[in-house]
Structure 1
Amino acid sequence: MELNIFGRRLTLGKAPASAPTAPGKKIRPARGAKSQRVAEQIERPYTYHRSKAEMDVWVLAENRARNPVMPRRDRLMLIYEQVMKDGYLTGQVKTLKNKVLSGGFAVVDKKSGQEVDEVLEMLQRPWFHDFMNAYLDTDFYGHTLLNFRYPAEDGDHVGEFTGFDLIPRENVVPETGEVLQRVTDSIGIPFRNTDAPYTKLLVEIALRDETGRYSLGILNKAAPEIIWKRYARTDWSRRSEKHGMPLVGLTTSAVEKSELDDKEMALANLGSDGYILLEEDEELTFHEAKSNENGQMYSGIKDACNDEIAFMITGQTMTSQDGASLSQSEVHERVQENYVVERQRSLSYFINFNLFPFLRSWGYPLDGLEFKWRTLLDEEAAKKKAAEAPTPEDPNANPTGPEHGPQGTNAPTAPGKKQPPKPGQGKPGKQQLTLATPNFTKPVAQASATGRIQLAGTDKENTKLRALFDKVVDKLHAESPKLRKMMRSPEFRAMLKETGDQLSDGLQEGYGAKLPELEYGTPDAVLLGKLTTSLYIFSANKSYKLLTELNKLLLDGGQVRPYADFKKQALQLHEDYNIQWLKTEYDTAVATGQMSAKWQSFQENAEHYFLKYTTAGDSRVRPAHHDWDGITLPVDHPFWNTHWPPCGWKCRCNAVRVPRLTNTATSQDRLDNLTTTPPEFGHNAGKTGVVFPESHQYNDIPAGAKPILRRMATEEAPTAKPK
């Protein structure tokens, strides 16, 4: 019987002519025909050499970074991390950077050329050295985005910057000018061409290649050299292991397995003072490798790769390798010096045309000043001295006459003596400068998705809130109303509203959305609406607390206190409630808004991720928060109900998503020994919809006042748009 199945004819009940014959007969396929053995018909995959496979990974990472639609540098940065583990490359980079940064520098007045030591002292700080180091790193990594921390508010350097954070390069897309919360995001936080307040703290260092595109850095060119060298050394090591040690041979007539096993064991232990007993007719021989010259091939590959790396970084090789003649080394040293000078010049251009304007915007007194390397100043001074030196042919040299005296008033003084400055003239070569107090705007400590970007808010007193406070004080002193009546007054309600407005602004800045612009009923509108209302209730309770404190100050021994005395003491309360404490509460509102938005976004595909608690990682991290660092748990774990940032005043902690496939959840033993969060922060605002919980001291008010304040706060709080 014949059947036609999928275009093929099969015969049932009768063996086809091509069926295999009985065992014992050998069948050879016709020329050109496939073998009848299944194993021989399987197509075996092509096996890549390891270096070829890793090179392909680098090519894919480079193409991903150059993608015209969605460029991403995350994979390239992982390769750079491995590349920088190469000792030779690291040494070359450090050598170049040390030569560049070892040069002294000065701040000079552009017109007079005089050095300004007072401003120079403001740059002789650790952060400025770190900045120059980060600028040089841009040459290797291709792009750098720095987020400065807010200036110091106390200590010896008030008003000056204390440091900055490097925004992870894998999160930055220079082609679109965005910082990604996650490298898989299609849209990020814009840091160019925007009036957003956080841009006030950002400094971008961007280099372009010869094609005009954003550079991927020298490390991209060095990556293949490192890959080739790494596997050449691996192959060299394997060959040395195989051919470097001599082989031992034993000629014996023994045939018994037990005897042969004993002799094999003795041969295996022959090294390290081992020994072997031989029969009279046995002979032991050592076979040395005839030549190991083929090993030089691997050494040649290593040297060639190192030469390429040296050329990329310093333009020459002989200053880092042996075997060069003195004359050759001098030539190569001059080439390296040119590379150093070129980088110093590039760095000085960026400081003068980018960094100094940034610092001036924060109040640094840099008008009319410029940064210069000390070597350049010395060269200029030498040229000026040579140009001013009189020549023997100059008839005006050392003039004499009645108007000049014996040698003239321009005659040089005796060696070792200095001419005194003329009246009204400062110290020669220096300019006296009175430093103004830097006028800066305090950045709010808000952690972005990368834990780096900080928003620049305000450090000045809220003049509107001060005016409303004054009205409350005046009414309270003039009328002495009862507390309940004063609480219902328009003056008190206006102060309540302004406090709520300010905290709400911080909340919305952190959340990244404005409540009135959200559509009613959406998840963001619901969560942000709850948080906003809770802030206005908090502001109402806080204002009531302030009112009760003012009411206590009003009477002195049963008599109304004189206005001047009352106002003076009232302003002390204003300083605490409406300036110092309000700043900290504003920071907390910003951080709460940002972390609440993150919690909302983390609910999507939650089953595929863990959440990981992270700290700022510096010496200012509190011990308790340090203990929580690195805790990794599922999104629905109860730990996040009580340990969701911010977990304290001025808390800079963060939480990030990590894949479940490549991470392990924290053990219960570690969780059992953790410290608890303060009562004011022992909740997850993203779940509760409350910024400051009931445990906060402001909320400890009489039960009769609570519903009144709550009603007023709810009426003042903004809401989302209806559908």
Structure 2
Amino acid sequence: MISIVKKITAAVSSFILTNAKSDKIFAEYYKRTVRGTEYRRQATNYRAKEIKDWTMAMMVATDPDNPRRGNLMRFYQSLMLDLHLMSCIDNRTLPVQCAPFRLMDKNQKEDTQAKKLLEKPWFMDLIRLIAMGAYQGTTLIEMIELNDKGELKEVTEIPQSNFIAQKGIVVKEEYDEQGVSYKEGVYRNYYIQIGNDWNLGLFSIMASIVLAKKLGLGSWMSFIEKFGIPPIFAITDRMDTARRDELFEMLSNFRMNHFAVLQGNEKIEVPDSNGMNAYHSFDDLLKKCDEYISKYLLGGTGLTDEKAYVGSATIQEHLLKYRQQVDKLVFKYYLNEEVFPRLVSLSSVYQPLANLTFEYDETETLTLKEILEAIKSLSQHYEFDIEELVRMTGLPIVGVKKLFGAPEPEPEPQKKKSEPGAKLNYPPFNYLPFGRQGLVYAATWDKTTERIAEKIWEEKMEAKDLDKDLTLKYYSSLNESTKSGWGKGYYTEELTGKLRNNLLQAAGAKSYRIINELSDLKKQHTGKDDYTESAKKLINLYNATYQVVENKFAANSAGSARDYNEYVKEKDIYPCLMNRTMGDNDVRDAHAVNEGVVKPVEEWTQIPPYDPGCRCWLEQTTSPATTNGMKNLDGKWANNPALSGKIFTENNTYFTGIPQEDKLPVKVNTEQMKEYMPYNRTIRVGEERTVFVNDFADRRDLESNLKAAKLIAEKLEKDVYIRPHKQGVAGEKNPELGIGRPGILGDLKTMPHNEPGNFFNNQLKKANKQGCQYVVVDISKYKGDASDLKDKIKKAVIYKDQEVNQNVKRLIIIRNKSVIQLSRMQIIKDRFSDLDLLK
């Protein structure tokens, strides 16, 4: 009878489930009363933690007979209040959460529809919970709640205080002995344990460092509370109690009233606390703790320190990627082996996941800039589908431009053309293949190079004259690369100013080389079309191939120079540097022999990169110097820019290739190019005015020029330009300011002492020879009344009833923070009333 009832019940259930709509079934499931195991969640207690709390929590968590993690959980919650610690964890976790992925079937085909099942908030939470298992130890995740669509609603972490991993049970109260099993029985498909039963996580190792940091911060706050406001002492000759009480009350109210009434020799003193270098003591402790945390979790400090340098930060980025790769592999394992089977059994919505495997999408995604660079690089060898280019770039490409000149004719069997540069005895980069066939990059053959080639064909240009546009183009490219390698502060450091001078000289020397080789090409060709095609190939070689190599070398050299300066500062801690290679199969034999060479910091007159393509780097060390020195260094490249102020040395073939008779003209003409160089450093003054600083502003006067420029911009509401300084150019007067525009010249003249003498006459005469319309005079050292200077000023403009120094149209006078402007007409007509404003 019972078997008949069971059969009838099964048949009815099957009929109902077969004919019922799935959304109604899910809705009924959603309304069920049982929601997983029961446990009582506790309030979070952020009481101050000490070493004894840590040791006690560790002892209880590792008790072999009755392990409990409640104390350890609360201790870890306190650790996670450290912002730097959590920032480091985010640096490891967020890339895993944001990493692209695919769901692949057995035939390695992607299922994009099933992927949408995972594009939910709970999936992001799941990734973080699994990742956090590495830090907080054994983690238990609950997956049981479905929404009315039959999809997983959320994932929940069971507090560590409410489960005992060694027994595989969830307990209602923290110290209950009995609970519900999550490893066996009805609930085993709803819970996932991350990590083994005894895993305590990385927090257990970092606890001492985070506690030391918290202790240091607390001590700092106590110090500020006690010593932030200095004590006050009243010193008096009076010995009577009445006066003592008066002074006591006066001092009690002194901070509120800010005055005191004293008698006789009485005085109030505030002791000097400058000798107490408390700030550095506490701050250094916190920074050191942060460094330890960064090194342990991320592999270095370069990704969390705002002063990190490109060379070391790049290496540390690689180390971090290894850690992130491990995090990805751990998550991938748990998702495929533990999560997917549970999802399939939890709801039929996730049935497609039964035959799919989670894989990270490791294919590289190019940015638009990288796509365009790739197109430019490959276009000389391959043809592209225009429609596909439009789809990839979004650019409305309507056609293809024809290159200058006719296409290259078929070569005759009995006649060979000479390759561009065939007569060169000094190729700039020995390791690069010389000459490339096919079409050139569109960007390398532009109006500038076409104009130069045309003038050379017509014999209207000599190499030593250089070309402004070509030199500026090379300098700008090298400068941007050097800036990216150096990082923050590139336009404010003294060393980088020297590097920019060197880059400009290298750009001038390269321009000379190209013009010279184009002239040689002309001698090899009788027809203009053939000459033009050969010129295109030559320009492509220099503007594309060589320029890429030079840019990378400049960037790496700049980063290495900045790192070296930091090594010098820290040589009392790390007195030596060790040469390191990347240790892979791409390391050249000539560089491999230098692995492990150690020398004192100050003896490294040549630092990586030792040549283009060099991937060596220096490591700070306390190891003693080795007996073997550096070998196989290329004198054309190897250098220490931090010491020499040069990225490209005088041994570089661009410089050695200039004949002696052309060296001075090339140097002078390159210096003249500074007139056209950019003003890359800008300083905002107020809301509307700007001070522009040229890349080649004279650093000797830069501080005083900046001070004057800011005052002029603020008080007179004019943009001010600090102009380039040209060295070694005969007859160059170097006016250093542009008022309103770079071409409206001005110069700063500072009165050196209190006596004006012939100062105004002499300085306006100099400014007149400089072609200045403005003369900026700083009279801050003058102690007298400014109105007494009017006769001196007028004599500098009118002498014996004749106007003199007629280039000068306006006089700007600065006194401390006051600024006035006098026009030439005001001076001639004795309108000096504005001098009264210079107090």
Question: Which TM-score applies when normalising by structure 1?
Answer: 0.42
